[in-house]
Amino acid sequence: MKFNDNQPIFIQIADYIGEMILRRELQTNQQVPSVRDLAVKLEVNPNTVMRAIERLQIAGIIYNKRGMGNFVADGAFEKIMEERKHKLIKEVLPGIFEEMHLLGITESELIRYYQSCNKKMNNTID
């Protein structure tokens, strides 16, 4: 995983775990990789991973079974999906639409590009 400078690393790690849930790599009630394993894999301090885990616990995305580790909570997929959609619509798309307006990109051009990208993504999934 490559980290960017725009956001704290622990938030990026929390997002990474969220993406694992969205991609169905982690299912409801499935154990999340341990703090130690994630720290080694991501080459970060275990305390940084722990902050990400705490963030996800507070959000109700994962829960802890004492002595056993952390697990994906019921409804985690839906919570993450809703949060990501909200962020995309409220924070990302307005800037993209403004840039499109400045560049004179039409809705039909956007739709064609979206369909082209969507085909490529579906081909890589299959």
Q: What is the pTM of this model?
A: 0.81
CA atoms within 13 A on the CB side of 52: 26
Question: What Cα–Cα distance (Å) separates residue 116 from each residue in 34, 35, 110, 120?
Answer: 38, 39, 10, 6
90 CB-near residues (< 8 Å, 6+ apart): none
* Residues 41 and 100 reside in one and the same domain: no
Contact 70, 53 (CB under 8 A): yes
Range of the domain at 99: 91-125
- pLDDT tens digits, residue range 76-121? 999 999 999 999 999 999 999 999 999 999 999 999 999 999 888 8
Count: domains in the chain: 2
Show which of 35, 51, 76 is a domain's final residue.
76
- pLDDT tens digits, residue range 8-64? 999 999 999 999 999 999 999 999 999 999 999 999 999 999 999 999 999 999 999
Q: Which residue has the tokens 């885990």?
A: 53
* Residues 60 and 21 reside in one and the same domain: yes
Q: Is residue 2 part of a domain?
A: no
